[in-house]
Amino acid sequence: MSNTLSYQQHLRKTFVLAYPVMLSQMGHILVGIVDSIMVGQIGPEPLAASSFANNLMGVFMMFGIGLSYGITPLVAQADGQGNQNQIIRVLRNGIILSILTGIVIFTVLFGVSFAMPLLGQPDEVVALGRPYFLIIAASLVPMMIFQGFRQFAEGKSVTKPTMYITIAANVVNVIFNYLLIYGKFGFPEMGLNGAGWGTFISRCLMAVGLSLFVYRYSKFKDYRAGFQLLKAKLDLFKPILKIGVPSGAQFVFEVGAFAMAALMMGWMGTLPLAAHQIAISLVSISYMMATGISAASTVRVGNQIGLKDGANLMKVGNTGFVMALIFMTFCSLIFIVFSNFFPTLYVDAPDVIEIAGSLIIVAGFFQLSDGVQVVGLGALRGMSDVKVPTIITFVAYWGLAIPCSYLLGFVFDMGPEGIWYGLLIGLTVAAVLLYIRFKKLAAEKIRSF
């Protein structure tokens, strides 16, 4: 018989697992936030260029991150079963897959860079954005290596080292941004490109740091055979990809919707695009931290599946939703109350600050939906359910959000706010459908145990 825990006990367990992931996710996204803040000090044009480059790259980056998410539930389920050999095999194949994914994404982005002038953005934005885009695209190779080791560690419920390494990397990023953007202490003044090199250097250090930790950590010594990459067998790539590819697609559909929104902002001009970058950088903090709760839900649900513990399965999932609602309610209030203050951290251009403030208020309203949908995806991923959630995200973002954004922004002439109201509609629909899907599938799993 399984030991049925109370919701209070589940909240404690999920929080202990989630908070280091949340902080490391915040640190992960702060690399881009810091870039935006420091670049914004040299003018709205470089800020708009970084928005264009980061939004275009973000679609591919999030696909890579989503692909690596195929590692975590397999490790968590094998851990629940006590299957050491399976964990070694997942680690080995996960490392190889992460390296190959980083190389492939960079190659694709190199080709995409030549198409940047065709995307209808202001000429100065494209001219400034392309070299920066290539630098941050190259940084995705070490970032994917970091992700492979990170997802393995999270599958084993070890999350704090990732947090420490990410925080240290952010400090390095700030230092090199200061030296290279502004040309301090004899370093060249590289402007926006300096921010790109700061990101590249910090991500290289993250990859090296976490790979060394996984290899040397005493509790992982039984899995060191996972570093023998030449012993990899093709049979395990399929289950990782079976979860990872749809997970990556889910991220692509959502992040791609926001990237499309950025393109629409660019059609309106440089100032709305710069304002969009400010608002989206703030939203990305709360979103990425909510993915920490989602990651904890993936691991804990995966453990219950491995244990065939129906008594706790539903409670584990509900705990993640409750935590997301509490956290995102707090974020919503912060965004709404300080909507006019946050933009001043980036720029001193009154027009940009006014537009960004209005977008941040809209962002405050969709925080709850964003939190619920990302936790729903994580909980379902823990049950290896990815196909239906992928369909839900595609319909919600590309069947509803993007058409509504265009209609509200251009046809009904609501401007930048209209584009974001369209995103709000898509996020809300996704949240409702994913929660219903989790409840239905969890009930079926419980009956089958």
Above 50 in pLDDT, residue 273?
yes
What band does 316 get if pLDDT is binned at 50, 70 and 90?
very high
pLDDT for the residue 269: 87
CB 150 within 8 A of CB 104: no
**Which residue, 128, 168, 131, 152, is CA-closest to 69?**
152
Q: Does any domain span residue 314?
A: yes
Residue type, 354: E
Over the stretch 282-315, which tens digit does the pLDDT of each residue have? 888 898 889 889 989 998 998 898 888 887 899 9
Where b means 16+ CB within 10 Å and e means fewer, 73-99 reads bbbbbbbbeeeeebbbbbbbbbbbbbb
CB 405 within 8 A of CB 397: no
Over the stretch 9-31, which tens digit does the pLDDT of each residue have? 888 988 888 888 888 777 767 77
End-to-end CA distance of the chain: 12
Q: Does any domain span residue 275?
A: yes
**What whole-number distance in Å separates Cα of residue 446 and Cα of residue 21?**
28
What own/partner pairs with CB < 8 Å and gap ≥ 24 does 15-20 have? Answer: 15/323, 17/157, 17/159, 17/296, 17/299, 17/300, 18/159, 18/292, 18/293, 18/295, 18/296, 18/323, 19/292, 20/159, 20/160, 20/162, 20/163, 20/292
Q: Does any domain span residue 44?
A: yes
**What whole-number distance in Å separates Cα of residue 72 and Cα of residue 336?**
35
Q: Work out the percent of the chain whose per-residue pLDDT is above 90.
A: 56
CB 302 within 8 A of CB 72: yes
Q: Does any domain span residue 2?
A: no
Over the stretch 213-232, which tens digit does the pLDDT of each residue have? 999 999 999 999 989 988 87
**Which residue, 150, 140, 160, 149, is CA-closest to 203?**
140
pLDDT for the residue 1: 44
Segments forming the whole domain that contains residue 352: 7-448
Domain total for the chain? 1
**What whole-number distance in Å separates Cα of residue 338 and Cα of residue 355?**
14
